[in-house]
Structure formats: structure tokens, C-alpha cells
Structure 1
Amino acid sequence: MVVVAEAASQVPECHTFTKLPVTDTIIGTDLVVRLLLYTGRNSSCATLINATHTSLLDITKKTIFIIHGYRPFGSPPNWLNKMITTLQMVDDINIIIVDWNRGATTINYSVAVSNTKKVADVLVPVISNILTIGGSLNMIHMIGVSLGAHISGFVGSRFNGQIGRITGLDPAGPLFRGKGKGDRLDPSDAQLVDVLHTDIDALGYEEFLGNIDYYANGGTDQPGCPATIMSGKRYMVCDHQRSVFLYINSLDSTCNITVYPCASYEEFLDAHCTQLDSTYPIFGYHIDKWANTSSLMRFPNKVFFQTSTDEPYCMYYYLLDIITWNKNTRKGYITVGLIGENGVMAKSQANRNAKSFEKFKEVTLLVSVDKDVGNITSVSLTFSSANLVEPKLKLGILRMKLKSLTYPDRPHVCRYDIALQKDLEEKFQPIECQVQEM
């Protein structure tokens, strides 16, 4: 039996997300859907609404539904308050929290999955009522986390894909993999469906689910998350939850995270998918301000980006072009250090795959660092050989050229005739490249 919570009475009352005891995990909970409304008039005090009580919404403003996922221990999502307050800081909107904690709290994950379409059944008449009082489907944005992403898709399909936007944050994979589009989130469920993948090898979903699918760090292990099960619960959920925190930071971040269309993460890391004369989409909430939906459709589904270990998770990208003069091919890795005119220092990781440096043949590397150093005043290069039996190996560089992908208008810097001894950092001051080398 589905229970829909009653709307608020005439007496103002602040409502909060349902908090359940751990014992309910074992016992299980019947589905109860509560809709908590925040507006400009009640930004810190949620009002309880239902399908017949939506008049408190300002229909001239966008309405965002936030839908959580599986809650095995009954606690409120640890990201919820931050999501609400950050959204309110950057946009004047209606926010509806879809609280289905009763129904999502159970030790039996399959029961929670079976409740997802029932939650959608509750939301459909709510949106229909919004339309009745003069609202528009164009002004509705559903943000679904894990199971909530699929709930958003079920709702969107009931409105023939005319809802303005659905954002799926690491949509749930277990019991959804291999399902048809009627049983999961699908690109046809809204005018724009954007999906972030952060845990495709465990709790998330690997394949395309949207018009644009972001794969942060390839969609698997997220920097800063525990690498072993010794960290307990955090090891299990960190990669999955990182999708929400990345999205929250996209709301009001100090940087826009640029993303790159590519066939695979390996090709992205090998700099096969970056062209300085291209305009790339950005990740997150503000993508609709970057371009309209039709222009987004020209991009392949898969786009990739990297993040740092800590908020706001920004990375800054460069292309490093190297031409070497060694008679024999050298195979190995390059680590890059940067110092900017403001004194900020940053260092890249060594390129993930060994590169072959052949005489007079240009090799391009993708360099990513977690700080914006500004205009570059100093560069360091370290060469590590892939052949461990060559202790005195030297990489002779005829020319190196470094150019910012993140800020392409910044000066491109060059340096000529450098000899890198194996595993020894070589620091130098670059010069601005000649015009013909730009």
C-alpha cells in the first residue's frame, strides 16, 4: 500500500526529512511519500504538500524535484541540506524534496527497487496539478540520486519526455543493468537528460542513460575515496556519493569543470580528444547556460573529466608537445611541475601509459594539475623510463611546448634543447613560443 502524506494544515509548521531507527532496516518499511517544499518565502522551513495542494509554488519560477535513493540505515542523506542551501544561493526556485525514506529503508534492496515506480505514481499527479494551475513542463527539473535517477525517468516517460530536464547522479546499477528503457532512466525521458557516472564498477550504471553522460575519472575510482575495504562503510559508498558532491560544487564553484567528448577514458588521458579550437561543454547544473539542448546533441554521449581529491574538485589541463632528438627510441613517463607568476606551484601525475619518444616525432601529453598557477614562469620535467635496466638513460628534448586547455588565451610557453637524466627533475624558465608555433 502506498501512503501519500497529507498537506500542511493552516497552522504554519516546519517539516523535516524522515529519520528512522536502524531497527526499521531489519523490519522494513511500507512506502510513504512526503513532499517537502522550499520557496523564496520559506527558504529554511519546508511546507508539506501533495497533489491537491501545490498553490504555494511560484509557477513563474523553475521547480526542482530532488529524489534520493536507497537508504539502508534510515538516516537522512548527508548531502541534503547542502544541496538545498546551495541551490537557494544560486537560483530563485521552488525546491521539492521527495522524501520516500519509508520505502527506501530496508535491508532488502530489491524491495526498495520495487518501490521506485510507485514513487513515480505519486509524483505524476503532483506535476499534473502544477500544470493545472498554470505551470510548465519546461520549468521542471528533476535531480535523482541513484534509485532517484530511475524514478525521475519513470516520471518523465509519463509526460512523453516533455519535462525540461532530468539529471541523474550515478544512477543505480544493481537490478537495472540490462533493463529496457521503460524500466530505467532513458534519454527520451526529458528534453535534456544529463547523467554523471562515478561508480560504474559497483553501485552505479555503466552504459549511456542520457543525452550527455559524464564519466568522472573514468566513472570508477574517485580521488580521495578509500582504496580498501578497511575503511568500512565509506569504502562502499564514497565513489557512489561523490556524484552528489561534484554536482553541488558545480552550482557555485570557483571553476567551471570542462569535459571532453571521447571514445574512452584511456583515449582522453592520451590527449586524443582535445582540440584547442573546439568549444567544450561544462559539467553540472549550469550546462543549460553554456548551450541550448540542440547544440548539446551534437556531442557524443560519453564525455570525460578528472577531479582532484578535495572540494571544489577542479583540475586544470594543459597540452605538452615534445620533440626528441635521441637516435634510439625512448619509452617512459613524464611528470610536469609548474610555478606561476603568483608563486602558486602544482605538479602533475606521471602520464598513465608509457609513451614512445621517437627521433624528431612530436608526442602530445595531457597534463592535469589541481591548482591554477596563472601565467607560467617556471617548468620542471622528470623522465622515468619504462625500461628498468637502463640506469643512465637520457631523454634529449629538441623542443617542448606547453599550452593551457583550460585557459587557451594564456601564452603558450616553449623551451629548446633540454637533456633529462632518468628520474632527475630538470627545472627551467620557459620562453613565450614564437607566433608560428602557436
Structure 2
Amino acid sequence: MENIIFNVWLKKKKNTSLPHHERTTRGIRTAVSNKPTERCYGTFGCYSVNRPWTSSNRPINNFPEAPEIIQPAFCLYTRHNRSRCQNLVTGDVNSIQRSGLDSSRRLLFIVHGYLEHGNKKWIKRMVEEALIYDNINVVVVDWVSGSGPPYTQAVANIRLIGVMLAHLLLFLHAQFQVPTENCHITGHSLGAHLAGYTGQYLRDRGHMLGRITGMDPADPYFENTEPLIRLDPTDALFVDVIHTDAGPILSGGLGMMQPVGHIDFYPNGGVRQPGCGTSVLDSIEKERGSVLYGLSRFIGCNHLRSVEFFTESFNSACPFLAVQCPSFEDFLEGRCHCGTNACHRMGYSADHQSVASSTGLNWPGQQQTDDSIQMYLLTRDDQPFCLYHYRVTIVISDTFESIQHGGDRGWLSIQLHGHNRSSPPTRLTPENVRFEPRRAYSYVLGSTWLGDIKSVTLVWTYSSSVFNPLTWRILTVPALHVNRIIVHNLESNSSAVICGEDTPISSKESRQMFPDSKCRHQSWLPAAGSFHFPTDETGANGLRKSGKRSRRLQLG
């Protein structure tokens, strides 16, 4: 499969390569070092293959290829030039003056990964969405001449390309007064670590990169390595990371599980994404009938979801809200909420100031000393991906009848009905659970925006095992006594109390319940939770309807 993709990559490389006089640097020659384990490239410095670059996690290590071979292109796009590459050349003042670069506006750099190029459809869509959202400078870093196989060579090449990108930023700073703090690099896969090398080079020379967004940083040769080798929080003022393909490499996982940013987002747990691995034909259709690219999309579906999430976040009214939690399982079981844990947005609108205030970090670029901030959220299986989160707490009755009946084992399905629409029926318990009287059970589910909750349909299904007598009901009928259901929407910070009336629900019975202010209070009730969000707006709908200007990242 890689050989087939390589041939296409080679064709794209020939088609997208710029003439020599239009490339990014001039007059750089390879310098020969006296050390056999080091190679130097003029003003771009020297590159060693000694430890820690070679280790048990990186058994094969190469030198970067020469700058005249790699030659990345830096293509500028603006609202006045949305489709034609205006190449920015380091050291060439005229190339900047001829372009549409506005030095007073922020710069967003988009960096692709292995076996990719700057004309990929996902890059074009991200450029388009970024320019719709804001009047900024968008620069695509096209390193197609260095992104081909073998993988170990591409891994080596990004060390040099990261430095070459840093040279461009320093040139723009010196000649056109562009603050490096106003620059944001978003990189996919190997591109995320490339961005880290750029930030590291700037930091070592007294400058700070504003922000790096790592879109599923590549795992092979980077997981569990030293911060020098991979993306880490000291590489920029703010480093946010989206993990979407963090499964074991032997099972096809291409991204890192290790947290490497100031804040790390794990949508759907970060390992497998809904809708991936289900239909090859659907992937081919999304690639306009191309079998090759369809297969590539199918194989890399989880890995590319980070790109799709970030792209959608530019102009989505849905905020991609995530909750800090020790694990995805704890998140799904409703054990984490914004009253005791932080809540932050994933994607372009992630806010470094709110992260700093909730963690006590001192900027710039401080690495965390305690546990990393790991955030979880749910998404749909297709575009639009963003979902709203509903924390459903089911309170089992403490009435005499409920206590005398005792607990029963089974699973729950629920459907929420709002003023706008109803959620699909959702199974809350992945496995059989024993529901006991006087206890509360919380779950988190995702849905499109429902509006104010007006009713709930609950289905409880009894489950027993012939091998476990404790699950048998011989003299009585299995039933569940529900006192109330508390539905709390995280995004709007609004709650609805649905009355269960303490009456028994039989197995497989569909029971619709409604809000009732006179619902019987019992001796113990769970708190609905107090949710606080990183936004200046107040009110129940502040986060859901917040305008784009209040969501922008302010750097510098």
C-alpha cells in the first residue's frame, strides 16, 4: 500500500515543486562536519544522530537531507488571495513586499505530515475556513520534497524544516516587525513535531512562538521520548493537542497517547473515532470516487479526524466543549463536571488564558509540573462533528416499596425530548449494571442541540444469568423505581428535573416522564452541579451562542 501511495506522492511532488528561484532559501550549501555522527547545513546549524536522537524508541536514525533537496515552500493565502500560492522566501524582501502579507495581522501556519503535500484537500478546506472566520494571514508549509518514504528519513527531515520555518519567522520579525508571539502553527502528525522544532529554535534565541496546535502528533519515534525530540509545552506560549488515533501501533494507531501539551484533548477517548473503519465505499465517495485516496482515507480515518475537528471548529456555533477528567471512563460515567473540573473548548477557539488561570501556570511556555490537563468530549460520526453534552443522573427511589423490592440488574436506554428536537435513543450502560435503591447513577451522552428539555423516555431492560442465582427474580417481578432524572446540559449550564413519580418500571417498558416542580424529595439527592466556563459571557446560553470575537485567541 505504501508503494502505491509513494508513486502518487512522487507525482504530486513533481507537480507541486516550485522552480529553484522561487524556493524558500538561497545559497545554502551542505557543510561537512569532522564528526561522523553530525552533519551541518550552514546557517541552519548542525544535526547529530547521537543520543537522545538514537535510542531504543528510535533504533534507526538519519541525518536530514540537504536544504537544497528538501526546499519547503511557504505559501501565503489571504482574503484577497484565497487560492493562489504567494511564496514567501526567507531573505528576499521583495517576495514579502509583492505578497499580500499584512504584518499587523496574526499568522496561521498549516503543516502537513508524512506522505502528504500542501495541495491536500484538507489543507485547502482549512485555509478556506480560517479566512472565513478571520482576516488573517494563512501560510501553508509544503514540504513535499522531504515528506516521502522511508518514514525514518521524513522524521529526520522535519528537524531541519522546523529550523527553516523558524528562520522565516525571524526574518519577518526583523524586516517587517511581525511578533513571533502572533504566530500560530498547527501541524498534523509529523507536522506537529516539526512545529515543536520551530518553537524550540525560537525559544533558544530569545523569542517565543505564540501557539502550537498538535493535530494527532505522530507516535512512531516520538512516544515516550525526551522533550527535545518531540512536541512539548515549552515550545510555545500555548500548546494544545488533539489526540484521535492513539491506539497501539500494532493495531493501526498512528498518533500519540502521551500528553505533550499544556492541554490535551481526547475526543471519544482519543483512540477510535465514531464512523471510522465502517465503510470503504463511503471513504471512496468522500474522495470523489478515487479508489486510492479512498483507501488511504479509510486507513487513516482516525488519524485525520483531528484535522477535521480543528477545521470545523473555526466557524461552528457548537463550541466543542471538553471536560477535564482522569479518564474517559470517568467522563462517560458523569464523574467530572465543570464545577470541580475545568471545561475548555477544543480547536481554534481554545483559550490559553483560561487554561493558565485554571492551572496556575505562569507564561510564557512553562511546562506543567503536575499531572497534565487531559480533556474529554464526544463527537458525531460525520460532519458536523460537534455535539452538546448532557449529564443524565438517574435517582433510584428510597420509598419503602423500592427498598423492600431491592436492587435489580439490567441496562438503560434513554431518549431526551427538547423543544427543538429529540435525541436518538441512547444506551447509557455499556454492560449490565445493578441498580440499588437510594442511589444515583450518572452518565454523559452527546446530541445535537435539543433546546429546553420537555420530557424523557426511559427504557430499562432486566438481565439475569442462569449461572448467578443472585440475579434471579422468582417471587417478584423485576422493576426499577425511579424518583427523578436530572438532565444537565454542560454547554448552556441549564438543568431540568424530570419526575419519575417513584412508580415501578417493568422490564422493556417504555416510560415517558415530564418535569414536575412537585416531584417528591427524598432523603438524599445528588447536587445538579455548578458549571463554570471559560467565557466572559454570562447566562444560560452564553457559551452556546457566544460570538466569534469573544472566542478568538489573543496573543502578544
Give 1:264 deviation, angstroms.
Answer: 0.8
Q: Among residues 68, 72, 83, which one is paired with 1:44 in the alignment?
A: 83
> Quick check: 1:70 aligned with 2:133?
no
What code does the residue aligned with 1:154 have? Y
Aligned to 2:392: 320
1:159-195 alpha-carbon deviations (Å, 9 max, x no partner): 1171110000000001112221111101110000000
Could you tell which deviates more after superposition, 273-282 or 248-257?
273-282
Measured after TM superposition, the shift of residue 235 of structure 1 is 3.5
1:193 aligns with 2:239: yes
Change (3 A) 1:208 1:292: same
For structure 1, the 5+ residue unaligned runs are 10-28
Alignment correspondent of 1:175: 221
1:335, 1:245 → 2: CA distance? 30
Letter in 2 for 1:179: T
Query: Counterpart in 1 of 2:346?
Result: 283
Q: Which amino acid aligns with 1:367?
A: V
Q: Percent identity?
A: 28
Q: Which residue of the partner structure matches residue 378 of structure 2?
A: 306
Unaligned stretches of 5+ residues in structure 2: 1-17, 25-67, 248-252, 284-294, 361-370, 467-471, 529-556
Question: In the alignment, what sits opposite 1:18?
Answer: none
CA contact (8 A) 2:344 2:355 kept: no
Q: CA deviation at 1:254?
A: 2.5
**SS at structure 1 position matched to 2:424:** strand
Q: String of CA shifts for 1:309-342, please: whole Å, max 9, x gaps.
A: 1222122222222223253222332211012223
Counterpart for residue 274 of structure 2: 223
Shift of 1:388: 4.4
- Of the three residues 32, 44, 61, the one matched with 2:71 is 32
- Does 2:134 match 1:91? yes
Secondary structure, counterpart of 1:401 in structure 2: strand
The answer on 1:377 being equivalent to 2:454 is yes
Contact 2:110 2:138 in 1 (8 A): yes
Specify the alignment match of 1:263 in structure 2: 326
- Scaled by the length of structure 2, what TM-score is found? 0.69
* CA deviations over 1:377-405 (Å, ceiling 9, x no partner): 22111123453455852212233332322
Could you give the per-residue CA deviations for residues 201-245 of structure 1, whole angstroms, max 9, x where no partner exists?
110011011000000110011011115899843342000000000
Alignment RMSD: 2.8
Contact 2:76 2:85 in 1 (8 A): yes
Q: Measure the CA separation in 1 of the matches of 2:213 and 2:80.
A: 26
Counterpart amino acid of residue 151 in structure 2: Y
Q: CA deviation at 1:275?
A: 4.4
- The 2-side partners of 1:99 and 1:92 are apart by 22
Give 1:212's aligned residue: 263
Q: Is the 8 A contact 2:133 2:315 kept in 1?
A: yes
Alignment of 1:119-158 (within 5 A): 119-132=161-174, 133-158=176-201
For the structure 1 residues 330 and 5, does the alpha-carbon distance in structure 2 shift closer, same or farther, using more than 3 Å as the test?
farther
Q: Compare CA radii of gyration and give the structure with the larger one.
A: 2
Structure 1 counterpart SS, 2:300: helix
Match of 1:16 in 2: none
More off after superposition, 263-272 vs 139-148: 263-272
